[in-house]
Structure 1
Amino acid sequence: MKKGQLTVFMIAGILLLMILGISLLLMTKIASQSSRQDTDINDYVVSCLKLTADEGLDRLGRNGGLIAPQGRYENQTFGRAYYWIKNRGATYPSIEDGMLGLAGYVQDNIVSCLDNFSGSINIGEPSVRCQATAKSVVVRMKLPVSIVTDESAVKRSDFEVILPVMYAKAHSLGEEIVSSRIRHPLDFDLDVLSSAELPVHILTYKEHHVIVITDKNSRVDSRAFRLIFAIERQKD
C-alpha cells in the first residue's frame, strides 16, 4: 500500500471516530435531557396532584363527607356541618360518595395547578379515581402530559399519590355513632366513644350536636384531618 493511500485511510478513520464520538455525545446528552425532563414532569404533576387532593380531602372532611353539600347543613365554627341525622333518620353520604366527590374535585382543579409549570407542556384531559383503604386514601390519575422539543419528546400519563389519612375508619366510626344515636335518640353510646381508635369531640348547640372525628397522625392542607358532621337533637 502506498504511503498516500495509508494517509487517506488514517484520515478517514480519524474522521469516522470523531463522527461516532460526537454522535454518542449527542445521544447521551439527549437521553440525559429526556430523563431529566421526565423526572421534572413526574415530580411536578405528582406535587400538584398531592396538593389538590389534600385540599379536596380537607374540604370533604369539613363538609361531612361531601365536597359541596346542598341543603341539610349548619354554618358553625368549623364550617358546614352536614346533617348525618335529620328527622330521626340517617342522611349521611357513603364512603363511595365521598371518593367520587374527591375525584371530581381533583379533576376540576388539577389543571390550574399545572398551568404554573415553568416549561412548555401539552396537557390532556384528566381522569381521576379515588379509593379509601383502611389507613389511606389512594388517588390515581390518568393525564396525558408531554414535552416536545427539537431534540426530544417526553410523554407521561399515569400518576398516583397515597394520602396517609384514615378516612374510611373515620367514616365508619361516624356511622356507628349515627346508628347508636338513632337507637337511643337522647344519649350517646359511651362504649362506642370510649373504644374508638380515633378521638371524638361532641359540641352541643340548641338544635343539634356537631361531631368532630380527628385523625391526629394525618396531615391534609397542613393540619390534621377532621371529619365533621351534625346530628339533629331530639328534645326530652
Structure 2
Amino acid sequence: MMKILVIEDDKSIAELERDYLEINGYECDLAADGIRGLEMALTGDYALIILDIMIPGMDGFELCARFREQSDTPVILLSAKKEDIDKVRGLGLGADDYMTKPFSPNELMARVKSHIGRYERLTGKDGGKNGGNRLLKIRELEIDKDSRRVFLGGEEKIMPAKEYDLLLFLAENANRVFSKEHIFDRIWGMDAIGDVSTVTVHIRRLREKIEKDMDNLQYIETVWGVGYRFKG
C-alpha cells in the first residue's frame, strides 16, 4: 500500500486529509512541523508529500527547496494564501502542484492520484511497459527514459516529475515551436487547475539546470510571440 506524508500543523485539517487518504486506499503519516516533516520526507518511502506552507520550525517553502535537493517525489503545496506570487514561488522551488485553502477533499484526492500516476509512468514503476534502455542524447545532455535520469556533461541533474516531463517532451520534439498553451495542455492536462504562467516557471527552472550560459542558450530558446523551441 502506498504511503503519503502530510505535513500540517492544524490537527483538524491533517486528520481530515488522513481520513480521505485512507478511504482512498493510502497509508498516511503525519508531521506537525517542518523540521520533523523534512526528516520523515527524506527517510520514509512515500509516494507523495502534502505540504502546508505555514508550519512551525521550517516553513513549507524552505522544506520544499531542501527536499528537492535530494528527491523528485511529487509534492503538493497547500496554503491559505491566494496570491499568485506564492504559487509561482512554490512551483519555482520544485512543487508539483499548489492548492489554496479551503479546498475540496475530493479535488485533493484527484490531484494526489494524478500526480502519483504521472510519476509512476515517468519512473517506469507502472509495470515496466516501456522496456529497453532508451537514451536520448543531445550534445552534452543525456536523458535516460527508463531510469528517468538526466545528465549534463556527465553530471546528474535532479528533476521533479513535471520538469522531467517537460524536458522530455521538448527534446523528443526538437526544432518544433510550441505555445505555452499547448505545452500546458500536454504536460499538465487540459483539465488541470492553473495557468500558462506555470510553463514559464518550469522553463526557467530547466534552463537554470541545463544551460551553462543564459545569454547564449544551447537547448531551450524562446520564440518571441509564439512560445518555446528545443534546439536539436
TM-score range, shorter chain: under 0.3
Structure 1 length-normalised TM: 0.24
Higher-RCO chain (CA-CA 8 Å, sequence separation at least 6): 1
Structure 2 length-normalised TM: 0.24
Larger radius of gyration: 1
